[in-house]
Amino acid sequence: MQAETEQIWRWLSEIPDPEIPVISLTDLGIIRDVDWQDDTLVVTVTPTYSGCPATSVINLEIERKLRENGIERLVLKRQLSPPWTTDWIATEAKEKLRSYGIAPPIDGTAAEGAVAGRVRRLTGAAPEVPCPRCGSARTECVSQFGSTPCKAAYRCRDCLEPFDYFKCI
């Protein structure tokens, strides 16, 4: 008997992101599709970027979770197009990031460059990022490279705490 697609999504929502354990793979928006093709479950995954070092761990965790729930025939399909953007992060996940001490991506900035097929500029002024701890807008970018490649290091000028900002991609 095949598990219902809705149940499979619930199982996948229990898998934490290996780099940010407060959000799940489904919160992150990288699980793009779940589909039965005859007796084989096909799970489509779009990595946050093609060189993401967590991709192997993510695939292993998906396979582990599904196999422990009785899925025997499984294919993990890697889909690079359309590329993942921070717009795919669930609204609730952005609050989870903030509560965890990571400033979530600023709404709308990932999509700005995607209009008419243009690629968003990767250079220029750092965005104004509110502190996830005290909410102050008086923050500064310390480095474009934070604890993982998808984050930048920031510091709050009011509470003086350092924090990561989940960069818009």
Sign of torsion over alpha carbons 137, 112, 91, 29: negative
Please state the φ and ψ torsions of residue 67, each to the nearest 5 degrees. -70, -35
- The CATH code of domain 5-78 reads 3.30.300.130
Kindly report, residue by residue over 119-145, the tens digit of the pLDDT.
Answer: 344 555 667 899 999 999 999 999 998
Higher-pLDDT residue of 56, 114: 56
Sign of torsion over alpha carbons 116, 79, 9, 149: negative
Residue 112 above 50 pLDDT? Answer: no
Instruction: Give the containing element (helix H, strand E) for 63.
Output: helix 55-68
Of 32, 37, 41, 53, nearest in space to 147 by CA? 53
Position 169 confidence tier, pLDDT thresholds 50, 70, 90: confident
Give the integer Cα–Cα distance in Å for 131 and 129.
6
Q: Where in the chain is the domain with CATH 3.30.300.130?
A: 5-78
pLDDT at 145: 87
Residue 109 above 80 pLDDT? Answer: no
Q: What is the pTM of this model?
A: 0.84
Position 100 confidence tier, pLDDT thresholds 50, 70, 90: very high
Kindly report, residue by residue over 34-51, the tens digit of the pLDDT.
Answer: 999 999 999 999 999 888
Mean pLDDT over each residue of the chain, to the nearest integer: 89
Give the integer Cα–Cα distance in Å for 102 and 117.
30
